[in-house]
Structure 1
Amino acid sequence: MKDALAVAGNSYASDNALHWKRNLIVCVFGSFTTLVSLTLLLPFLPVYVEELGVRQNAAIVWWSGLAFGATFLGTGLTAPLWGYLSDRYGRKPMLVRAAIGMAIVMPLIGCAHNVYELTLLRLLAGVIGGYASSSTLLVATQTPADKSGWALGILSTGALAGTLTGPLIGGLLPGLIGIRHTFFATGAMIAVAALLTIVLVKENFVPRPRSSNAAAPAATKHRRLIVGAMFATAMLVLFANMSIEPIITVYLQDIHADRSHVVLDAGIVMAASALGSIIMAAPLGRLADRIGGWRVIVYCLAAAGLLMIPQAFVVAWWQLAILRFLLGAALAGLLPSIAKQIRQSVPESALGKVLGYSQSSQYAGQVLGPLAGGAMGGMIGMRSVFFLTSGMLLFGAVANLWACRKAADTGN
């Protein structure tokens, strides 16, 4: 069964053996630019909401959170659909669709007349966008199997760099050209990515016949076990990373950080996690190519779970920053390894749809993490959030180890 999957999984990669390196470069650039555009409004979003007519502080905060989260909600809801269509019509059309859609919607956000239009346009950006998700699908399926972990790590580095760079650009650009013109500029940047995608990305795509599950019940059971474990782990990764984000500023005040610098310190702490992931994503992806994706998943979950515990006992912001950097480094190996594991376990005819659901699982964790962390931190205490997240990560490591062994027994 494994050999059959390998042959089916390699056929598309073999057809595109001449293109995958150039396509990877374009996808890294496109993912970087689209994620810059989606995150750069973080520093000035409350100001823009106020410009659109909202006056009370509580309402400004509420609308800012709603408008920011709407994009990721839209992406999470539609990722399986775009994945399914990519299985039928090819990976490149989905990249082009996402890039052109974002290039059109971003300037429209700069033309919003009220917060309702702002929120709906942010939701639309998520619904028709998803360039980074489509890039993951193309790279995961087009790259040679023995290099897919490294390539996905490189792609993850580009996406994380965009997430980290976006707020920095958003803090500078509006002061130079104004808030609305900032959206126009980012739309132009995405248009460049769309043009590069259309011209440079090459794909030889032939729809693969759908396999019959009825003919191989043991293979189906094996596959469902692996895919289910990967979905749960994908959600856990984002849950763990985001559960602490809402309470970092308050937590630093709790450990008596200098109030005059607490916002800056919180920003450094948040950026430290992304920086750790940027540095380690590609090396851990390469490690997954050498020892297998599932081993890297187990090791990284265990390391991340252990690194959560000392974060509950820090007495200075820089200690938390160091630990968050190490946590980001540990988490960096998970998403590339998850995509690699799914690629090795799912027939090519269904890969787009399955990876789409994996993306939706990530966005579910991104939504549930801050909600759970904020609620638990308020009710029980902020240190409890670290212990809860640590327990979940360590349980995830044990569960993945069990699932790995169970899948091996089922597949034999």
Structure 2
Amino acid sequence: MQTTKPIWKRNLYVLSIAVFIAGIAFSEIMPFLPLYVDTLGHFTHQELNFWSGLIFSSVFVVSAIVSPWWGKLADKKGRKLMTLRAALGMAIVLGCMGLVTNVWQLLALRFTQGFFAGFVSNANVLITTETPKENSGQALGTMASAFTAGNLLGPFIGGSLVSIFSYRVTFFITGLLLFIAFLLSLFFVHEEGFKPITSKKLANSKGVINSLTSPAMIFGLLLTTLIIQAANNSINPIVSLYVRQLMHNQGNVVFTSGVVAALPGIATFLAASRFGALGDRIGTHKIIIGGFIGASILFFLTAFVTQVWQLGILRFLIGFTDACLFPQVQTMLTKNTPVAVTGRIFSWNQSAMYLGNIVGPMLGSTISGLFNYNMVFIVTSGIVLFNLLIFKLNVLRNLQ
């Protein structure tokens, strides 16, 4: 006799598809965003770089500020409602980006996008609160794989859409994709057993902290998230430049850079759910430690490559260490956080991630400017080792 699939498994299936679509939507506009900015005015090279950087980072700045507020609402009103809020809000905002006539309007919409951000993080919170804790590692790994797969496909789809249609039509299509994610979440995701916060003790951050069994461990994990994101994103601004240096500016540098940039995501997609399931069996903290050790070695070796194929292999292997880190930190947060405050803890983690997204590229650009590209990888290796030390002192020591 066939049994009905548990609600949490159905939610995982539907939300994996939704975050896959969202991953495509978020990443398909990134390759041409500076080019779109260039169509909105007559800019010098310096002005174009300034506006492109500001428009790119504005989303992260606003999201880092408002995420804790949305997390508090998620614990009060429900995680599904916050997922719907984010999907619909961003569908409208990204669609409207195709209508702007000047760079100020685009900047305002990017700020608004940051205000509504949080679809993937809220989907993760819903999954963590509905999934049995013994399966949470595999569930979050599956979500990470789905989002990574969408992120990988997005730039290719976005480039194709721009070639076939235009920048503006591509924004309309992106808004439509997020509206599809909204409809999937609205009609096919079910939140069971949600109990809104009524206790005044949990109404503020102090109450949330007091409800934690090991506050030091949770804040250690939040710091770990920030440093993971900073380390990974410190590399992003210089990867294509490093490829050009290794190729001596010969051959198809742009295509090769795209392939090298995509390789970590492919490995993360292949490995995240498997490492999550392994962590459920042997201990998530062991997977994270392995990720730190592997990443520090691989980043250090990357500083000494002499051929682009060597860089490609090491970047692919870095993707496996990525699968050991951010999704598994989320799993540890899930397993060590009371259900009633999961939304806020995950929103704090989201803010830490956004701060890492801001700090990382600035760090990489500064180091490469002061020294060289090789030094960026050496410093990043040191940052990862520092993160391992923080993890051991603030997390493992408080692990129950």
1:117 and 2:108 correspond: no
Which of residues 340, 356, 372 in structure 1 aligns to 2:347? 356
Give the conservation status (yes or no) of the 8 Å contact 1:140–1:339: no
- For residue 77 of structure 1, give the secondary structure of its aligned residue in structure 2: helix
1:254 and 2:245 correspond: yes
% identity of equivalent residues: 34
1:171 and 2:159 correspond: yes
Q: Which amino acid aligns with 1:397?
A: L
Give the conservation status (yes or no) of the 8 Å contact 2:290–2:324: no
1:41 and 2:32 correspond: no
After TM superposition, the structure 1 stretch with the greater mean CA deviation from structure 2, 397-406 or 327-336, is 397-406
Q: Which amino acid aligns with 2:216?
A: L
Q: Which amino acid aligns with 1:339?
A: Q
1:369 and 2:364 correspond: no
Give the conservation status (yes or no) of the 8 Å contact 2:247–2:253: no
Give the conservation status (yes or no) of the 8 Å contact 1:307–1:326: yes
Which of residues 193, 197, 201 in structure 1 aligns to 2:185? 197
Matches within 5 A, 1:3-14: none
Partner of 2:397: 406
CA separation in 1, counterparts of 2:227 and 2:13? 29
CA separation in 2, counterparts of 1:211 and 1:291? 38
Structure 1 residues 374 and 321 mapped into 2: Cα distance closer, same or farther (>3 Å)? same
Matches within 5 A, 1:130-169: 130-169=118-157
Give the conservation status (yes or no) of the 8 Å contact 1:272–1:325: yes
Cα deviation for residue 68 of structure 1 reads 2.1
- For residue 245 of structure 1, give the secondary structure of its aligned residue in structure 2: helix
Matches within 5 A, 1:257-272: 257-272=248-263
Give the conservation status (yes or no) of the 8 Å contact 1:30–1:131: no
CA separation in 2, counterparts of 1:362 and 1:152? 16
After TM superposition, the structure 1 stretch with the greater mean CA deviation from structure 2, 371-380 or 41-50, is 41-50
CA separation in 1, counterparts of 2:176 and 2:189? 19
CA separation in 1, counterparts of 2:129 and 2:196? 13
Which of residues 217, 225, 231 in structure 2 aligns to 1:234? 225
TM-score by length of 1: 0.89
Matches within 5 A, 1:326-345: 326-345=317-336
Structure 1 residues 390 and 238 mapped into 2: Cα distance closer, same or farther (>3 Å)? same
- CA-atom RMSD in angstroms: 2.1
Cα deviation for residue 69 of structure 1 reads 2.1
- For residue 388 of structure 1, give the secondary structure of its aligned residue in structure 2: helix
- 1:289-315, Cα deviation, whole Å (9 max, x unpaired): 111221211111111111111101111
Give the conservation status (yes or no) of the 8 Å contact 1:79–1:356: yes
Matches within 5 A, 1:77-88: 77-88=65-76
- For residue 174 of structure 2, give the secondary structure of its aligned residue in structure 1: helix
Give the conservation status (yes or no) of the 8 Å contact 1:154–1:282: yes
Structure 1: gaps (5+ residues): 1-16
CA separation in 2, counterparts of 1:311 and 1:165? 25
CA separation in 2, counterparts of 1:244 and 1:129? 24
CA separation in 1, counterparts of 2:199 and 2:134? 25
1:206 and 2:215 correspond: no
- 1:195-236, Cα deviation, whole Å (9 max, x unpaired): 1111111112222555969xx9x9878511111110111112
Matches within 5 A, 1:290-309: 290-309=281-300
Matches within 5 A, 1:46-61: 46-61=34-49
CA separation in 2, counterparts of 1:257 and 1:28? 41
Cα deviation for residue 278 of structure 1 reads 1.1
CA separation in 1, counterparts of 2:50 and 2:14? 36
1:126 and 2:117 correspond: no
Structure 2: gaps (5+ residues): none
CA separation in 2, counterparts of 1:333 and 1:187? 32
Which of residues 44, 57, 65 in structure 2 aligns to 1:69? 57
Give the conservation status (yes or no) of the 8 Å contact 2:260–2:312: yes
Q: Which amino acid aligns with 2:330?
A: A
Partner of 1:312: 303
Cα deviation for residue 72 of structure 1 reads 2.6
Cα deviation for residue 87 of structure 1 reads 0.6
Structure 1 residues 405 and 164 mapped into 2: Cα distance closer, same or farther (>3 Å)? closer
Count the aligned residue pairs.
390
Cα deviation for residue 318 of structure 1 reads 1.4
CA separation in 1, counterparts of 2:396 and 2:95? 50
Give the conservation status (yes or no) of the 8 Å contact 1:299–1:397: no
Q: Which amino acid aligns with 1:286?
A: A
Give the conservation status (yes or no) of the 8 Å contact 1:209–1:349: no
Partner of 1:5: none
